[in-house]
Structure 1
Amino acid sequence: MAASEYIRSLRSRIGHDLLLLPGVTAVIRDGGRILLARHAHSGAWSLVGGAVEPGEEPLEAVQREVREELGAEITVTGIIGVYGGEPLMVTYPNGDRVGYVTTAYECVLRTPPTPDGVELTEIGWFERRDIFSLDRRGWIDRVLADVRG
């Protein structure tokens, strides 16, 4: 996780203690296929997303996260749902603990994606039925169950 100045400021005061953060998730589709990314910190496949910055609109945050992590532009076509709880609790390799409450947006690409090589090491398009055999973050199953079509 590339920490923003805001998160670094909080961490300087609370150390590795749990932070509850608003997040955004991009469910990028191409017909029946869904774009997943392999995360550098865990090696697991997941959807693209991250934290909403102070003062930032969530819609702008999902566009920014896709731009930062994939170098791509998206069009958001709707909201799939809002997710949180134990499945979205993360302990990063440095010991930082985060609980995300994320809004998942349905998206389509406007420009080609390329993983940033820092947070994401690989990307791939997967049919929904093939995702369940991947080493993945379990919470994405909840999101994908709510994706229509």
Structure 2
Amino acid sequence: MPTPDFIVELRQKIGQDSLWLAGATAVVLRDEQVLLVRRADNGRWTPITGIVDPGEEPAVTAIRECQEETGVICAVEGLAWVKAGAEKAFPNGDRCTFLDHTFRCRWVSGEPVVNDDESSEVGWFPLDDLPPIAEELLLRIRMAVDFDGRTRFVASQDSAG
């Protein structure tokens, strides 16, 4: 997965110190199915995710990443969940923490194809028959599916959302 240029430039200044980055997750729904990608770097199935570019709106990131990764055009219906993740350490030693914005999105047009080198497979999966997927990502999907117009968030260190 290519590292965005702005992060490469930051890393030249701060080395491998932890970065605080905004991320976006597009949970794209069509009928009773969700669009998933199999990541090329680790083989895991995920909804569409990406890093918000400087000055970019997170909802725009969700739409852009969906089109870049799958060729599918989606529309954002709402912000379902905002959640800070745990710090991640990458094999090269870089560290970062993501503030994820999970959006409920609807399919507008296009059929999924592997559209870049970040994914090895893409496809629609029935919500009641998903491939193995990390619990953290299942929770994002659930939050988007159950979205009732109210954004979920954690309001204290002791709360789960």
Task: Report TM bin, short chain.
Answer: 0.7 to 0.9
User: Counterparts of 1:28 and 1:17 in 2: how far apart (Å)?
Assistant: 33
Q: Which runs of 5+ in 1 are unaligned?
A: none
1:76 is matched with which residue? 76
Residue 144 of structure 1 pairs with residue 136 of structure 2: no
Residue 10 of structure 1 pairs with residue 10 of structure 2: yes
Distance 1:141 1:91, change over 3 A: same
Q: Could you say what secondary structure the match of 1:139 adopts?
A: helix
User: Counterparts of 1:114 and 1:43 in 2: how far apart (Å)?
Assistant: 16
Residue 107 of structure 1 pairs with residue 94 of structure 2: no
User: Counterparts of 1:107 and 1:95 in 2: how far apart (Å)?
Assistant: 34
| Count, aligned residues | 145
Which deviations, in whole Å up to 9, do the C-alpha atoms of 1:90-118 show, x marking residues without a partner?
43343332221111111122222212341
Identity among equivalent positions (%) equals 34
Which deviations, in whole Å up to 9, do the C-alpha atoms of 1:69-89 show, x marking residues without a partner?
112221112221112222xx4
TM-superposed CA distance for 1:59, in Å, is: 1.6
Moved more, 121-130 or 33-42: 121-130
2:115 is matched with which residue? 116
Residue 64 of structure 1 pairs with residue 64 of structure 2: yes
Q: Could you say what secondary structure the match of 2:68 adopts?
A: helix
State whether residues 112 and 123 of structure 2, in contact with CA within 8 Å, keep that contact through their aligned partners in structure 1.
Answer: no
TM-superposed CA distance for 1:11, in Å, is: 1.2
User: Counterparts of 1:61 and 1:7 in 2: how far apart (Å)?
Assistant: 16
User: Counterparts of 2:43 and 2:11 in 1: how far apart (Å)?
Assistant: 24
Q: Could you say what secondary structure the match of 2:11 adopts?
A: helix
Runs of 4+ in 1 over 6 A off after TM superposition: none
Q: Which has the larger radius of gyration?
A: 2
User: Counterparts of 1:21 and 1:76 in 2: how far apart (Å)?
Assistant: 21
1:39 is matched with which residue? 39
TM-score (norm 2): 0.80
CA RMSD, 1 decimal: 1.9
Q: Which runs of 5+ in 2 are unaligned?
A: 148-161
